[in-house]
Amino acid sequence: MMLDVLDGLCVLIVGDVMIDRYLVGSVSRISPEAPVPVVLQKSVEDRLGGAANVALNVKALGGVPFLCSLIGEDQDGQRFLDLLSTEKLTPLGIRTSSERCTTVKTRILGNHQQMLRIDQEDTHDLSANEEAVMLQRAVTIMDHDPIRVLILQDYNKGMLPERLIRNLIQEAKKRGIFIAVDPKKTNFFAYQGADLFKPNLKEVRESAPFPITPTLDSLQKAADFLIEKLQNRYTMLTLSEKGIFLDDGNGGQLYPTIARNISDVSGAGDTVISIAAMALATGMDAALVARLSNLAGGQVCESPGVVPVNRALLEKELAQ
Q: Any idea which residues carry the catalytic annotation? A: 270
Residue 93's nearest CA partner among 45, 148, 150 is: 150
Instruction: Kindly report the number of other CB atoms within 10 A of residue 19's CB atom.
Output: 22
Alpha helices in the chain (DSSP H): 51-60, 75-86, 128-144, 162-174, 201-207, 216-230, 268-281, 286-301, 311-319
CA 252 to chain centre: 22
Q: What is the DSSP string of 96-116?
A: EESSSPPPEEEEEEETTEEEE
What type of residue is 200? N
Q: CA 26 to CA 59: how far, in whole Å?
A: 34
Q: What is the CA radius of gyration of the chain?
A: 19
Other Cβ atoms less than 10 A from the Cβ of 57: the count is 28
Mapped onto helix, strand or coil, the DSSP state of residue 306 is: coil
CA 21 to chain centre: 17
Rounded to whole angstroms, how far apart are CA atoms 114 and 92? 34
Distance (Å, rounded) from C-alpha 198 to C-alpha 47? 24
